[in-house]
Structure 1
Amino acid sequence: MVEDVHGAMTSLPRVQDSKPIDAKEENLLRQVERSLFIRKCAQSLLLDATTTATAVVLTQQFFAHGSKPEWDDRVIAGACVFLATKSCEVPRTLRSVVNVVHAVKNDTTEPLGADQEYSDLKNSLINAEQTVLRALQFDVDVVLPFAYLLNYAHQGRFKQATAHCALALANDILCAEEALLFPAFVLAACCLYTASQMLEDDGEFGKDKWWYQYDTSDEDITAVSNLLACVYAVMKQHPNSALTNQVGLTPTESNTVNTS
């Protein structure tokens, strides 16, 4: 889905040139780096997009409860991958998850043997899983924007390319913890609108403010567009980050989304 967004950022708010990182930007960078770590683990475990996004959201929800300096972000992310495989009913063995977390974390293809290092990481993941469950009060049901988005795209008869681009945007915005502030159906409408502006596809809705019928406001559209711009700006401003190097998204300068 990334390819649908690459080079098609002309409707997002203008991103600023590179500048020294501030606390807010550093926090966002950590959020997207965690999300990439999950995506790489999910790829190795052959997980589908829904399970992967569920793991991302669970991780964001956990860290939204406050700073967790005592925890390695990647261990929490790995534990959330393991939780997501259970909640989405695509189970993977604990050993598989341990080996994948180790491989991605250390950039190696060598699996762990049955030694102390394996036992330590396995116990860390088990403890992290229990910590996440307690923090989330054992509620691991995640509502994602993808099904809403596809339904809206079908109702509005948008082009397939527009729907694919919108799905990519919806997937990427989940990398930001702030996305948790919006209901999934709002994220869906906002991402579909943004994609439609990028690709100049109004579907059968025409110029009407069709997102109103999906309980989405102009303010929502603008806020989500700004958040997307922030996510892609982090990638642009930190080209040496793992996220930019491995995902390869480079946002372009653009104008503010027009909802008039």
Structure 2
Amino acid sequence: MADIAHPYSQWLFSPSDLFRTPSTDQGMVFGDEVAERASGIHFLYRIGSTCQMKMNAMAAAAIYFHRFFMRRSFSNYRAVEIAATCVFLATKVEECTRKLKHIVALCVIKSKPSSEGRRDTPDTIDENSPEFIRWHELILAYEDVVLEALCFDLVVDHPHGYLCDSLDQLAAPADVADHAWSIASDSLRTPLCVIYAPHIIACASYLLSQYVLQGWDLTLLGQPSFQSPEDAWREAFGISPEETASLAGGEDPLCSAPGFN
């Protein structure tokens, strides 16, 4: 694991650790694991957005998911089933409670082929159907499994919280702020949250948004010439000189980590 002084440093790994996960140790190809992670988060976002979860809850669920699979293997657990369990846990931790039966109904709907699922709503799902009962029992059983793997460490920071505060401080234009928010959300489809602290991901999302919309030359990161007005971002995001170096990997600071593409 990376030697990073941070309250949740036990959950921050080095990029090379992604090639030594429980899944890869059991023979899964790295690219396949990245695809499984993205698939699980896609399902998680579909459930979360449909039941109108706030982004902080969906982000927490995504972080639970990625942390879980740093300690457990995809060979033993299906991505969508752990994703659903993480959604249920996040609704309780992040104070946006949703009834379990509503989450279960959405899992039944979203796991169907799209042509079938379009005709269903949570109210039309039979709670006595085998599929509803299976999902219900599975989420309750996996709740303890996920809690154990996460060491009951469910209070998490996520990039969006840092973005809210820092974008206000920087008086970022609306288009830059919206794009940074989307980048941070997309970053959670990847294992970046177990490599970098959330304020670094938030900062990278902002910088990439500036690159795309304002044409910032991010190859100058860390150089004295990369100064005002852009220099205010360092203070706003609380980025140290050492952390600036970790952002200076190229024009796209997020994509420098394995698995982002």
Please say whether Structure 1 and Structure 2 have the same fold, judged by a TM-score greater than 0.5. Answer: yes
Q: Match for residue 112 of structure 1?
A: 126
Unaligned runs of 5+ in 2: 1-27, 217-226
SS in 1 for 2:168: helix
Q: Which amino acid aligns with 1:53?
A: A
SS in 1 for 2:53: coil
Unaligned runs of 5+ in 1: 1-21, 234-260
Q: Which amino acid aligns with 1:214?
A: I
Higher relative contact order (CA 8 A, sep 6+): 1
Contact 1:159 / 1:201 at 8 angstroms: preserved in 2?
Answer: no
**Displacement of 1:221 after TM fit?**
4.4
1:91 aligns with 2:97: yes
Mean CA deviation greater in 142-151 or 189-198: 142-151
Contact 2:108 / 2:131 at 8 angstroms: preserved in 1?
Answer: no
CA distance in 1, matches of 2:107, 2:166: 36
Q: Match for residue 225 of structure 1?
A: 254
> TM-score by structure 1 length?
0.73
> TM-score by structure 2 length?
0.73
CA distance in 2, matches of 1:210, 1:96: 41
Q: Match for residue 145 of structure 1?
A: 159
Q: Which amino acid aligns with 2:197?
A: P
SS in 1 for 2:202: helix
**Displacement of 1:93 after TM fit?**
1.1
Q: Match for residue 76 of structure 1?
A: 82
* Structure 1 ranges of 4+ moved more than 6 A: none
Contact 1:85 / 1:91 at 8 angstroms: preserved in 2?
Answer: yes
Contact 2:72 / 2:149 at 8 angstroms: preserved in 1?
Answer: no
Contact 1:173 / 1:228 at 8 angstroms: preserved in 2?
Answer: no
Count of residues in correspondence between the two structures: 210
Kindly tell me: are residues 228 and 47 of structure 1, through their superposed partners in 2, closer, same or farther at Cα, counting changes over 3 Å? farther
2:229 to 194, 203, 206: 206
**Displacement of 1:117 after TM fit?**
3.3
**Displacement of 1:121 after TM fit?**
1.9
SS in 1 for 2:95: coil
Q: Match for residue 246 of structure 1?
A: none
Contact 2:177 / 2:206 at 8 angstroms: preserved in 1?
Answer: yes
CA distance in 2, matches of 1:193, 1:89: 31
CA distance in 2, matches of 1:81, 1:106: 18
CA distance in 2, matches of 1:81, 1:141: 14
Contact 1:61 / 1:136 at 8 angstroms: preserved in 2?
Answer: yes
1:88-140: CA deviations, max 9, x gaps?
A: 11111111111111111123225133144322221111111110001111111
**Displacement of 1:162 after TM fit?**
0.7
**Displacement of 1:25 after TM fit?**
2.1
Kindly tell me: are residues 230 and 53 of structure 1, through their superposed partners in 2, closer, same or farther at Cα, counting changes over 3 Å? same
Kindly tell me: are residues 165 and 136 of structure 1, through their superposed partners in 2, closer, same or farther at Cα, counting changes over 3 Å? same
Q: Match for residue 173 of structure 1?
A: 187
CA distance in 2, matches of 1:191, 1:41: 24
